[in-house]
Chain A
Amino acid sequence: MHVEKVVTRHWGKPGQPTLDGYRKNGGYEQLKKVLELAPEAVQAEVKKSNLRGRGGAGFPTGLKWSFVPKDNPKPRYLAINADESEPGTAKDRFIMENDPHALLEGVAIACWALNAHTCYIYARGEFKHPSNVLDKALAEAYAAGIFGKKLMGRDFELNVYQVRGAGAYICGEETAMLESLEGKKGWPRLKPPFPAVSGLFGCPTVVNNVETIATLPSIFEKGADWFAKLGTDKSGGTRLVTLSGVCNRPGTYEVSMQTTLKDLIFDDQFGQGMPRGRTVKAVIPGGSSAPVLTAAEMGVALEFEAFKPLNSMAGSGGIIVMDDTCCMVRCLWRVTRFYAEESCGQCTPCREGMPWMTRLLRKIEEGRGEPKDLEQLMQVATSIAPWPPIGLGNTICALGDAGALPVQSFVQKFKSEFVQHIAEHRCPYGEHPWGAFGEFQ
């Protein structure tokens, strides 16, 4: 199975993270080309490419751009979401480390298309090294006259700033990120209005993920048709996924939209299969908020539409594999603890529900569970967001859904394990709930 590389095509080449190295491989040539086009033509090309957001929702990028009102006299902003923190996801970080100028060239292309003169790149606070690499690249781009008063000599001012977060998962939610960029705690805003209409400082703002924007230079290098053809009907291009958990070669890989979960785990160029004697029990396919799949569902392609019939999602491409010796209760407890910890506290169902579910799961895992706990667990989850998922939870932002869907899917698909814990008053996996690689050595 051959995957044509797009985002990672220059990774690891000598000097790629520097301006000189990037230019040697054709860097900033696409920006030059784009600056000869009218912004509308650039937007049309992006629409034609079927590029979809890589942050989690998979929203068509060209369509998102078109929501910016044409008659609003306020300044426009581009905000890049580099607050990568969905458990299981480690891809944007590697773009920043391996090819920061691809992101910056993409930023310039997007700003030209959107007529935005300021871009903020919101990087998560823990990204000390990736942020340092990006800061260096930014300084190089300014020094070379690419950014600043004149975008590559054009009469178009473009300023790009990196802002570092400070440890809050919620700031990956686009409106919480805007609040954070405004210097506040990350409390999501009610939508509508959507950021394209009223975003940063009340001005029209487009929020895009790092991978989405870093893909733009190759779309203009080889054309929107080429990019669209690489993918499927509705999802253009390739995508970066992170394979983690139990498999022989975890890591970050570029896959095609036709690559299946099974290919990813077992193919030699990716995960290289399971350790001897172990089989797949469960796979979380798109970051820990994506409903879990069973081994029988591994034939699904890693493409945005394909997950809908399975009531799950491609999400941010964080794929977490659990083998037949992993305790599902323990795994779910760990996931739920995360959402309890990261709930911003604004909406009652999420603020109260996440810790409640965490307590119930701990109780079951520690052998103190009662039969009614399972029912209660599902009831709390469903009070936060309905199952099957329709994207309309009872909270302002999707963190509510993100915490409820794992609970609903784990309990539905692995109910017997929960029941066994309760019936036997213990965890059947005892001191070893984490599977083949769970011991620290």
Chain B
Amino acid sequence: MSDAVAFTPEEQKKFDAGISELLGHYPPDRKRAAMLPALRLLQELRGWCTPEGMKAVADKLETTVERAYEVATFYVMFHTEKPGKYVIDVCTNLSCALRGAEGMLKHLEVKLGTTAGTNGDKYFLRETECLASCGTAPCLQINEDHYENLTKEKVDKLLETLV
């Protein structure tokens, strides 16, 4: 595992530059504080938190890979397995449920031929918790892009853009 390549040369450059900028945001003896933004950077570069990438993050932050893994598994936005091309997060919390979110989730399951919570090559449809769109419900996010005030028509249009 330790020999596995974490980054292409191009990615390595971006990673090094990104990390050194992040480290400038914290006291010099608190490198580990940059863990969340560093893992975010890793995920932006590699699509997910790869084991080799987490090792690279841990080395830069002068901490252990276990610390990186602990954080990556605690927060739901970090993927410790490769996610589908489109991660679709559907809020089904109370405010959204009162505006049709359960039906929207079912609609997506049927349209995409998947079950919420199942990771696939193309789609990773999952239920998520409140996305602060309560007055503009129902809502969902596709690869972190936010869509609200949704209807069947709007969702179908959105799905057409996912190629």
Contact = CB atoms under 8 A, between A and B. Distances in A.
Given A183-B36, A184-B71, A288-B94, A318 B134 contact: yes
B133 A90 contact: yes
B152 to A, nearest CB: 6
Interface stretch (B4-12, B114-122, B137-145): B137-145
A245 B101 CA distance: 11
Given A338-B130, A434-B98, A183 B136 contact: no
A89 B132 contact: yes
Nearest to A323: B98
Given A166-B77, A168-B75, A440-B107, A88 B130 contact: yes
Given A164-B40, A183-B71, A250-B137, A85 B130 contact: yes
Interface in A118-166: 124-129, 159, 161, 163-166
B151 A252 contact: no
Contact of A440 (B27, B37, B67, B102): B102
A295 B106 CA distance: 32
A92 B134 CA distance: 12
Contact of B98 (A128, A183, A244): A244
B37 A320 contact: no
Contacts of B75: 125, 165-168, 185-186
A400 to B, nearest CB: 17
Given A90-B132, A166-B75, A440 B101 contact: yes
A186 B134 contact: no
Contact of A183 (B32, B103, B133): B32
B71 A169 contact: no
Given A165-B36, A251-B135, A441 B95 contact: no
Contact of B141 (A92, A126, A341): A126
25 contacts: A90-B134, A93-B132, A126-B89, A126-B128, A126-B132, A128-B144, A161-B25, A166-B39, A166-B75, A166-B78, A167-B128, A168-B74, A183-B34, A183-B71, A184-B71, A185-B71, A186-B75, A201-B33, A250-B137, A251-B136, A331-B94, A331-B97, A334-B97, A434-B102, A439-B103
Give the 10 A-B residue pairs with the shortest CB-CB distance, closest first: A440-B103, A183-B35, A166-B75, A440-B100, A185-B74, A244-B134, A244-B95, A167-B77, A167-B76, A87-B130
